[in-house]
Amino acid sequence: MEANSPQGPHDDNRLPIAAAPRPRPLAAVPADHGTALGTALRYTEPEPERDDDEIDLLDYWRIIVKRRWTVLATLALVFAIALVGTLLMTPIYRASTTLQIDRDSIKVVNVGDLTPGESPLDKDYYQTQYELLQSRALAQRVIAQLALADHPVWQRMSEPSPLAKLLGSVFGASDDSAEALAKPGASGLAESRRITAFLEHLSVEPVRNSRLVRIHFDSIDPAFSAKVVNAMAEAYIASALDRRFESSSYAKNFLEDQLQQLKLRLQDSEKELVVFAQKERIVDIDDHQSLVAQNLSQLNEALSRTQDERMRAEARYMQAQMTDGIGLADVLDSKNIQDLQAKRSAAQAEYQDKLRVFKPDYPEMLRLKGQIDEFQRLIDAQAADIKGAIAGNFAAARAQENLLHNQIDELKVEVLDLQSRSIQYNILKREVDTNRQLYDGLLQRFKEVGLAGGVGTNNISVVDRAEVPTGKHSPRLALNLALGLLLGGFAGVSLAFLTEHLDDTIKSPEDIEKLLRLAVLGIIPKLKVGTPIQALADPRSAFAEAYRSLRTALQFSTSDGVPRSLLITSATPSEGKSTTALVLAQNFAQLGRRVLLIDADLRNPSQHKLLGLDNGAGLSNCLTGAVKVPELIQATRTEGLSVLLAGPLPPNPAELLAGPRLVSLLTAACHKYDQVIIDGPPVMGLADAPIIANQAGGTLLVVEFGNARMGVVRASLKRLAAARVRLLGALLTKFDVRSAGYGYGYGDHSYYSYGDTPKLGQR
């Protein structure tokens, strides 16, 4: 509940609508009205805190339940369309064949890269093959191979449907549309359409994570489907072989032309090289170096050996110069010198032995002394010869080295001169070598291509050939019906939500509380059978109990109870305000109160019809001053309830109501009666209701469920706010539990009734 500030005739506040977005129960606000009506109470159901983006599944379910007939009708319609369409469809039979496509074909010879290389990670290769299977060129090949234009099954498939014939007759379609596809001599546009129609029946299904691919063909004849799909596989393999053969043939012709050109170029370059070599007198050895360069190389090697010999000879010579003859290694190693030294040593030993016996001048001793001297002279002579040989070897080695140096210097001059003249020669020689390599390579490739051109290579094979299908592929009755149920349910729910979104009527008590910020003081159920008077005849009925609940809520609407004067009005006519005013007056009279019911609708009065009284005189006479009020009040069959009918319809009701007599009438009635109930006119389009509401102590707005539009009710609230009306709350009438989609709550009024006796207005 949330308190609303009551509005009196002199208040400047707006319509007493809850200011806070979350109303709280039983909040009292002091009254500020001229008749001292006390406080006004507004009761609203506390609303739990909820995020704006939160999805309320219960609200969605209520919408579906409320629009259940829309959902069911849409579901039934779509299901019927699916059923009838499936039964009327022509059976389609699908035949399938399975191919294996390898990335590389079996190579009898290694031809090399005649076609672009393929990476194992390159997925474009298989995608290319799938597109080739669905290419127009392959389809045209199969169509021509099987002569489909003359095939009776294809002609039946190419016939336009009844719908197409109807559209053609209505819009004047020419004969070259669908029928042209079946004509044997069709060409141009008809041929293109035939290929398009063929591809529509063809489908390619790659097998995941494998090199297999399935080809499907759908037609109205099972044997025809198998025949076409097998021909499709064979044509695809033949097309692949043709492309490979054309590639080899093209490569062979290309290589042949290139070989002829390279042969002529090689001959010209060799002739030019020979002419230049003869002119410059250049001789190549082993195609690597000239004769002069070879001689220079040999002399360099000889010079290196001579330098080694000279250095060894020089070392021996230097050693010989630094030592005496006997100390040389060559002397010590000499056999002759060693023999002479041995003989000399033997003679010296004999001399020393005999010296102990003979004197040195003894002849024998002189002879031995002479032998020793001779041996020494011979040793010295031999050592001198060896030393001279060493000096001679050193001089010869040095002379030979100098000679080689002179020859190398001369050859260097010749080599430099030859190199300056061989620049152009080397250029010509490299060109000859390059042309020869190109020619040899192309000649080898030409021989390989020529050999491979006669060998059929293929990387595509048929794994499973198509067999004649035994069962139809489509239509599938169970699947189509399941899809019909699914689509029908989705369409029905979508239509229900769309209708609910476009429907701006009051559809639930929550709409009044949340969107209009009004307290719902009561909910009156919709009668399925009978009239309100008949339903009220049973005090235990839900209809009667709902009004008693409204009476109770009004008793707590202010701190002092029900305002002494209470206006019952609505935004538009026929929302139940007259019935509500009469029933409330009767209910308050049943409490022992003195109640006056005033029919203030001077344009379309109805209380005299409900009560069965004469409307010859009433409120209009009182407001004109023609008759006094006591003379116009009539008694009813309900004890304590009196009524002041509308009386004759005046030409200016708003002017009468705006006069001072209405205020005097209400003031006097409030002093004489305990409760004054005013059945007022509707708010929209008339000035009567705001005038009466401004004079009344409180106003109850009657809102019809499912008929009162949100914009109209808001506009009526604005008019009442402008008149400074004290609005107590709203009453929701003609509430249908099933239409609102509620299970138990506002809409379930079974708790209003009691006992076992059936009640009017309840099923």
Six-digit token string for 342: 């041995």
Mean pLDDT confidence for 642-660 = 89
Q: How far apart are CA 101 and CA 132, in angstroms?
A: 12
Q: Which of 23-27, 253-257, 545-549, 705-709 has the lowest mean pLDDT?
A: 23-27
Phi and psi dihedrals of 84, rounded to 5?
-65, -45
Q: Are the beta carbons of 704 and 497 closer than 8 angstroms?
A: no
Six-digit token string for 123: 């997925």
Q: How far apart are CA 125 and CA 135, in angstroms?
A: 15
Higher local confidence (pLDDT), 433 or 552: 552
The CATH fold of domain 27-44+519-752: Rossmann fold (3.40.50)
What's the pLDDT at 749? 45
Q: Which of 308, 307, 334, 339 is nearest to 389 (CA)?
A: 334
Higher local confidence (pLDDT), 595 or 159: 595
What's the pLDDT at 641? 92
- The pLDDT > 70 percentage for the chain reads 73
Q: How far apart are CA 566 and CA 692, in angstroms?
A: 10
414: three-class secondary structure by DSSP: helix
Phi and psi dihedrals of 356, rounded to 5?
-75, -15
Residue 491 has a CB neighbour count (10 Å cut-off) of 15
Q: Beta strand pairing status for 520-525 and 727-735? A: parallel
**CA triple 187-190-193, angle to 5 deg:** 130
What's the pLDDT at 644? 92
215: three-class secondary structure by DSSP: strand
Is pLDDT above 50 for 455?
no
| Burial (CB count <10 Å: 0-12, 13-18, 19+), residue 165 | middle
The 10s digit of each residue's pLDDT in 424-436 is 677 777 777 787 7
Q: Which of 323-337, 674-688, 717-731 has the lowest mean pLDDT?
A: 323-337
Q: What is the pTM of this model?
A: 0.49
User: Which residues share a beta bridge with 570?
Assistant: 702
Q: In what order do the strands lie in the sheet with 93-101?
A: 202-206, 212-219, 93-101, 460-464
Is pLDDT above 80 for 184?
no
Is pLDDT above 80 for 638?
yes
The 10s digit of each residue's pLDDT in 468-480 is 888 778 777 888 8
Q: How does DSSP classify residue 184?
A: T
Q: What is the crossing angle of helices 363-452 and 222-280, to 10°?
A: 140
Range list of H helices, 7-118: 57-66, 68-88
What's the pLDDT at 760? 37
Q: Which of 685, 683, 688, 697 is nearest to 725 (CA)?
A: 697
Mean pLDDT confidence for 645-661 = 89
Higher local confidence (pLDDT), 692 or 335: 692
Q: Cis peptide leading into 48, omega within 30 of 0?
A: no
Q: Are the beta carbons of 215 and 231 closer than 8 angstroms?
A: no
What's the pLDDT at 368? 81
Residues near 437 by Cβ (< 8 Å), separated by ≥ 6? none
Q: What is the CATH number of domain 87-250+457-464?
A: 3.30.1890
Q: Which of 266, 248, 265 is nearest to 446 (CA)?
A: 248
pLDDT band at 751 (very low <50, low <70, confident <90, very high): very low
Is pLDDT above 90 for 284?
no
The 10s digit of each residue's pLDDT in 612-626 is 898 888 888 888 887
Six-digit token string for 466: 């198509």
DSSP-assigned letters across all residues of 513-574: IIIS---EEEEEEPPSSS-HHHHHTSTTSHHHHHHHHHHHHHHTSSTTSS-SEEEEEESSSS
Is pLDDT above 60 for 10?
no
User: Which residues share a beta bridge with 643?
Assistant: 597, 634
pLDDT band at 759 (very low <50, low <70, confident <90, very high): very low
Residues in the chain: 763
Q: How far apart are CA 635 and CA 585, in angstroms?
A: 13
Q: Which of 87-91, 166-170, 344-348 has the lowest mean pLDDT?
A: 166-170
Q: Which of 201-215, 379-393, 562-576 has the lowest mean pLDDT?
A: 379-393
pLDDT band at 55 (very low <50, low <70, confident <90, very high): low
Mean pLDDT confidence for 279-304 = 65
Is pLDDT above 50 for 584?
yes
Higher local confidence (pLDDT), 249 or 238: 238
Higher local confidence (pLDDT), 219 or 164: 219
What's the pLDDT at 642? 93
Is pLDDT above 60 for 327?
no
Q: How far apart are CA 179 and CA 147, in angstroms?
A: 16
Q: Which of 247, 210, 17 is nearest to 113 (CA)?
A: 247
Q: Beta strand pairing status for 641-644 and 634-635? A: antiparallel
| Furthest CA-CA distance within the chain | 216
What's the pLDDT at 752? 45
Q: Which of 396, 383, 440 is nearest to 266 (CA)?
A: 440
The 10s digit of each residue's pLDDT in 477-517 is 888 889 988 998 898 888 888 877 777 777 778 888 888 88
H/E run at residue 699: strand 698-704
What's the pLDDT at 449? 62
b/e burial code for range 50-88 (CB count within 10 A of at least 16 → b): eeeeeeeeeeeebbbbbbeebbeebbeebbeebeeebee
Q: Beta strand pairing status for 93-101 and 212-219? A: antiparallel
Residue whose structure tokens are 């010198």: 337
747: three-class secondary structure by DSSP: coil
Is pLDDT above 90 for 102?
no
Residues near 476 by Cβ (< 8 Å), separated by ≥ 6? 86
Mean pLDDT confidence for 75-100 = 86
The 10s digit of each residue's pLDDT in 666-713 is 999 999 999 999 999 999 878 888 999 898 989 999 998 878 788 888
CA atoms in the 13 A half-sphere facing the CB of 672: 14
Is pLDDT above 90 for 594?
yes
- All structural domains of the chain with their residue ranges: 27-44+519-752, 87-250+457-464
Q: Which of 18-32, 294-308, 660-674 has the lowest mean pLDDT?
A: 18-32
What's the pLDDT at 291? 61
Mean pLDDT confidence for 23-42 = 34
The 10s digit of each residue's pLDDT in 355-366 is 888 888 878 888
Q: What is the mean pLDDT of the chain?
A: 75
- The pLDDT > 90 percentage for the chain reads 11
What's the pLDDT at 422? 66
What's the pLDDT at 462? 87
Q: Are the beta carbons of 665 and 565 closer than 8 angstroms?
A: no
Higher local confidence (pLDDT), 106 or 420: 420
Q: What is the crossing angle of helices 291-322 and 363-452, to 10°?
A: 160
Mean pLDDT confidence for 174-191 = 56
642: three-class secondary structure by DSSP: strand
Is pLDDT above 80 for 528?
no
Is pLDDT above 70 for 64?
yes
Could you give the C-alpha distances from 192 to 140, 165, 181, 197, 372, in angstroms and in order?
A: 9, 21, 9, 9, 134
